[in-house]
Amino acid sequence: MTVLLAAALAICPTHGARQDCVHDGDTWWLSGEKFRLANFDAPEMNGKCAFERQLAIRARDRLAELLAADDIRLQRLGTDRYRRTLVVVTVFGRSLGDIMFQEGLVRRWPPNDPSWCK
């Protein structure tokens, strides 16, 4: 288990370099490393319907809020096919993914239904 120092991360710009920022509800950059929340899937910022795009903004903003907490810990699980570091993150001893799942902002991976749009 590695301690991740709490840091207020900016929201990533739409274009250009990404550094120390949150991209969406399951992906962020910190100190040159790209992280991906393991076992959960967040809606895409450029989603296929208005519902997905609105939920993506809420999920991204909530992830940024949770990553700024005082007691963040992460466990690296390796990398995915996009070379993102897969991590399990805990906030005050609770799974960050589970928190966001309970709030309806992410779903478990792999999803039963690939579409966020109904």
Q: Please tell me the total count of domains within the chain.
A: 1
Q: What DSSP assignment string belongs to 54-110?
A: HHHHHHHHHHHHHHTSSSEEEEEEEE-TT-PEEEEEEETTEEHHHHHHHTTS-EESS
CATH number of the domain encompassing residue 7:
2.40.50.90
Full-model pTM: 0.91
Q: What is the pLDDT of residues 1-17, one digit of tens each?
A: 565 656 678 999 988 88
Asked if residue 117 belongs to a domain, the reply is no
Closest CA to 71 of 91, 87, 89, 88: 91
Asked if residue 15 belongs to a domain, the reply is yes
Taking the CA atoms of the chain, what radius of gyration do you get in angstroms?
13
- Structural domain harbouring 16: 2-108
Q: What is the pLDDT of residues 64-118, one digit of tens each?
A: 999 998 888 999 999 999 999 999 999 989 999 999 999 999 999 887 777 889 7
Is residue 51 within 8 Å of residue 117, measured between CB atoms? yes
Asked if residue 113 belongs to a domain, the reply is no
The DSSP code for 115 is: -
Asked if residue 27 belongs to a domain, the reply is yes
Asked if residue 118 belongs to a domain, the reply is no
